[in-house]
């Protein structure tokens, strides 16, 4: 697992406040796992974000996508619940501006933004269950120092980063 991580000499200015915190980006399904489905593998993650031991970074595109997905009928969320989940997201995550950049292309253009956010934030990891994003893990680690891992790996990533 250690080969998935590389120390970044420069951090994003908006997320420098707690240098010992592990920085994560969550794709939409990871947010759903955390907020809607309360996936046991993410138990403690929101608390860790609240206490500053982890940082979550996102951007306006990812928030807009989450807002759209939270309104899907299949989730059976009323407007108040969807709004509440978005409010939690905004409280837990730091929203950054992501500059235009050239990165390895994801087959699903909707997922490209998560790679861009992770690189712009100099995140330690992108949490996803998306097969296409997970296939890019080695390349993203090698070229950009970002681990692309399943949400259930968040504790392992945090433990590894705390050793740096």
The residue with tokens 């974000």 is 49
Percentage of the chain beyond pLDDT 90 is: 80
- Average pLDDT for 87-105: 94
Calculate the average pLDDT of the chain: 90
Residue 19 has what pLDDT? 59
The third-level CATH classification (topology) of the domain covering 18-162 is Rossmann fold (3.40.50)
- Strand, helix or coil for residue 54: strand
**Assessment of whether the complete model's pTM goes beyond 0.85:** yes
The string over 84-115, giving b where at least 16 C-beta atoms fall within 10 Å of a residue's C-beta and e elsewhere, is ebbeebeebbbbbebeeeebeebeeeebbbbb
pLDDT digits (tens, 9 = 90+) for 7-65: 343 344 444 445 579 999 999 999 999 999 999 999 999 999 999 999 999 999 999 99
- Domain residue ranges of the chain, discontinuous segments joined by +: 18-162
Chain-centroid distance, C-alpha 103: 17
């Amino acid at each position: 697992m250690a080969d998935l991580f590389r120390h970044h000499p420069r951090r994003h200015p908006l997320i420098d406040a707690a240098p010992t915190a592990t920085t994560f980006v969550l794709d939409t399904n990871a947010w759903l796992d955390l907020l809607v489905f309360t996936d046991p593998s993410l138990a403690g993650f929101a608390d860790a974000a609240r206490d500053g031991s982890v940082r979550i970074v996102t951007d306006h595109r990812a928030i807009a996508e989450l807002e759209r997905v939270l309104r899907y009928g299949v989730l059976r969320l009323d407007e108040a619940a969807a709004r509440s989940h978005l409010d939690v997201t905004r409280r837990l995550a730091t929203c950054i501006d992501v500059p235009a950049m050239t990165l390895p292309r994801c087959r699903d253009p909707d997922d490209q933004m998560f790679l861009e956010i992770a690189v712009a934030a100099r995140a330690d990891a992108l949490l996803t269950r998306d097969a296409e994003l997970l296939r890019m893990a080695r390349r993203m680690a090698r070229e950009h120092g970002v681990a692309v891992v399943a949400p259930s790996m968040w504790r392992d990533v945090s433990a590894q980063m705390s050793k740096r």
